[in-house]
Amino acid sequence: VFCELSIGKKGSSTSRVVVQEPDYFAITDSHPRAFIHVLSLPRFHINGIEDLKGKEGHEILRRLETIGRQALDIELRRLLSSSYSSSDGITAVHNSNQENHLQKKEQEYVERQLTAVNYLQRREAAEPSIAETFVFGFHQSWLRSVNHLHMHCICPPFFPSAQFLRYHPITSFVPLTQAISRMEATSK
Q: Check pLDDT > 80 for residue 23.
A: yes
Indicate the fold that domain 2-82+127-186 takes in CATH.
Answer: HIT family, subunit A (3.30.428)
Q: Across residues 155-163, what is the average pLDDT?
A: 67
Q: Report residue 83's pLDDT band, with 50, 70 and 90 as the boundaries.
A: very low
> What are the sequence ranges of the domains in the chain?
2-82+127-186
Q: Report residue 143's pLDDT band, with 50, 70 and 90 as the boundaries.
A: low
Name, in order, each residue with C-beta under 8 angstroms of 108's C-beta and a sequence gap of 6 or more: 159
Q: Report residue 134's pLDDT band, with 50, 70 and 90 as the boundaries.
A: confident
- The more confident residue out of 126 and 176 is 176
- The more confident residue out of 162 and 72 is 72
pTM of the model: 0.70
For residue 172, the model assigns a pLDDT of: 76
For residue 74, the model assigns a pLDDT of: 92
Q: Give pLDDT tens digits for 25-80.
A: 999 998 888 888 999 999 999 999 989 988 899 999 999 999 999 999 899 888 77
Q: Give pLDDT tens digits for 90-132.
A: 334 334 434 455 566 666 666 766 666 666 666 556 555 555 6
